[in-house]
Structure 1
Amino acid sequence: MSGSPSPAVEVIHNTAAGRFEATIDGLLCVAEYTLQGRTAVMHHTLVPPALEGRGIAGALVRAALAHAREAGWRVRPTCSYVASYMRRHPETQDLLA
């Protein structure tokens, strides 16, 4: 169902793997980061092609940025999707490292 919005996406913070995860229709979607001091370097977002266009990547990034804010982290978006998301959402600009 590409293009259809997803119902609420349950995002889990997998600290051991350094990523935020959601499993949709049995497929793993992730937003990966590396913590460097108090800065989360957001370097990769992956949503399988069968799930694209459903808002899943946005949900992953929203969860990651909310966690960064709560943890007092800064964010360096080296992933093009995360950088684009942060440009489109000015309320996240204060998190930029």
Structure 2
Amino acid sequence: MARIEREANGKKGRFIIYADNEYAGEMTFTWAGKKKFIIDHTGVEDKFGGKGMAKQLVMEGVEYARKNDLKIIPLCPYAKSRFNKDESIKDVLA
């Protein structure tokens, strides 16, 4: 069972995914003003690769953006490809 937590320290933050309470990966972001954030990096530990965890991280960021009326700038190659593949999340693109 995967669990995702969000950490933020003002200008930067990250979403962290845990599988059975073990760190599995993270998606980092940087604020670009008050209403936008940039997804800088998405990475999953090799042990957890191929299990859809990177997608879960991006989708958690999308849900966070929707709930808080924010926009996302996906600079990370994985996040950018996710936005290109999934029409249903383009509403949060900056």
Give the TM-score category using the shorter length.
Answer: 0.7 to 0.9
How do 1:1-97 and structure 2 match up within 5 A?
Answer: 7=1, 9-16=2-9, 18-24=13-19, 26-37=22-33, 38-97=35-94
| Structure having the larger proportion of residues in strand | 2
Which of 21-30 and 67-76 deviates more? 21-30
- Structure 1's unaligned 5+ residue stretches are 1-6
Return the TM-score normalized by structure 2. 0.87
For these two proteins, the number of residue pairs brought into alignment is 90
Q: RCO higher in 1 or 2 (8 Å CA, sep ≥ 6)?
A: 1
Alpha-carbon RMSD across the aligned residues, in angstroms, is 1.4
- Structure 2's unaligned 5+ residue stretches are none
Q: Which runs of 4+ in 1 moved over 4 A?
A: none
1:77 and 1:51 mapped to 2: Cα distance? Answer: 22
Q: How far off is 1:41 after superposition?
A: 0.3
**Contact residue 24 and residue 48 of structure 2 kept, 8 A:** no
